[in-house]
Amino acid sequence: MSLIEVDAAWVRPRLPVRKPDSNKGTYGRVLVIGGCENYIGAPALSALAAYRVGAGLVTLCVPDAIKPIVAQSCREATFISFDVSEVTALKGVTAVVIGPGMGQSAGARAFHQAYFAAPLAVPHVIDADALNLLAPLSTHRAKLPKHTVITPHPGEMSRLTGRSTAEVQASRVAVAQESAQHWGCVVLLKGAGTIVAVPNTAAAQLSFANPAMAVAGTGDVLAGTIGGFLAQGLSPSDAAVCGAFVHGSAGDQWRRLHGDAGLLASDLLPLLPDVLRSTVNNLDAASEA
């Protein structure tokens, strides 16, 4: 299958439409599940990214021990406890992002196992340690909810497929396409030249290759960006491609101003609405920066 080259013209008609007579319920509710004592910031980055691309409400499910700290950096979110019974009782969720900062402790593993036994019946972004906890399971293909986007970096894809990281990198398109077909989900393989593969469809490739983005937390922002688009009704494939485009464009905008090093993942957050505006209005973001 041929590759779809993604640009602003491809993304523009797929972005959510904002209506004057809308309210927060119009734009969906994202549930972000993750965090642990060693990775406190990750779920907040995902939650804030979902808000920055237009989600109406974001709820964070994090361990109680870190909830007060996370709340300081994400004041706009609501919270529930790190308890599967609370998650399954939550109403109005339109997308789930699971994995950012979750860790692989016994508690995280128990939550993961219980949640994927009966996940919420909404689109999912599965990222980071939620993928790492799935990887050892011979049944991980069966654990994926319908309408799922997985977002592995090459190392995580290596663990999921049993191939070496070098093999994954040598055949990025083929590995992503084979995995999407085998698992029946959208696969976003991160890295320079991000690949988004969809079962029975041509894969999309994004041309971003930005060394400034090689820093902790940028993947958490990407996961939240995709989740925010899913919550607003984009299909998993469109949410993945549009999310990668907006995320990558924000990184390029930062790089034009500051260079190849020094970016913090949180620096991307205020740039996401700028990219959305320039894309929707067919503006040249480079000339605006």
Looking up residue 95, the CATH number of its domain turns out to be 3.40.1190.20
User: Could you give the C-alpha distances from 241 to 13, 94, 204, 238, in angstroms and in order?
Assistant: 12, 19, 7, 5
In a domain, 287, yes or no: no
Question: In the chain, how many domains are there?
Answer: 1
Q: Kindly write down the DSSP assignment for every residue of 34-101, as one continuous string.
A: --BTTB-HHHHHHHHHHHHTT-SEEEEE--GGGHHHHHHH-TT-EEE-S-HHHHHH--S--EEEE-TT
- Residue 161: count of CB within 10 angstroms of its CB: 18
d(C-alpha 233, C-alpha 165), whole Å: 34
pTM exceeds 0.85 for this model: yes
The closest of 97, 101, 49 to 76, measured between CA atoms, is: 49
Report if residue 212 sits inside a domain. Answer: yes
Judge whether 286 lies within some domain: no
Distance in angstroms (rounded) separating the CA atoms of residues 29 and 93: 5
Domain residue limits at 66: 4-13+25-280
20 domain-assigned: no
Residue 19 counted as domain residue:
no
**Residue 242 resides in a domain:** yes
Amino acid at 39: Y
Sheet holding 201-205, edge to edge: 4-5, 201-205, 195-198, 186-189, 148-150, 124-126, 95-98, 29-33, 57-61, 78-80
**Cβ proximity of 210 and 219 under 8 Å:** no
Q: Does residue 18 sit within a domain? A: no
pLDDT tens string, the chain, 289 residues long: the values are: 579 999 999 999 999 999 999 999 999 999 999 999 999 999 999 999 999 999 999 999 999 999 999 999 999 999 999 999 999 999 999 999 999 999 999 999 999 999 999 999 999 999 999 999 999 998 888 999 999 999 999 999 999 999 999 999 999 999 999 999 999 999 999 999 999 999 999 999 999 999 999 999 999 999 999 999 999 999 999 999 999 999 999 999 999 999 999 999 999 999 999 999 999 998 864 445 4
Residue 230 lies in a domain: yes
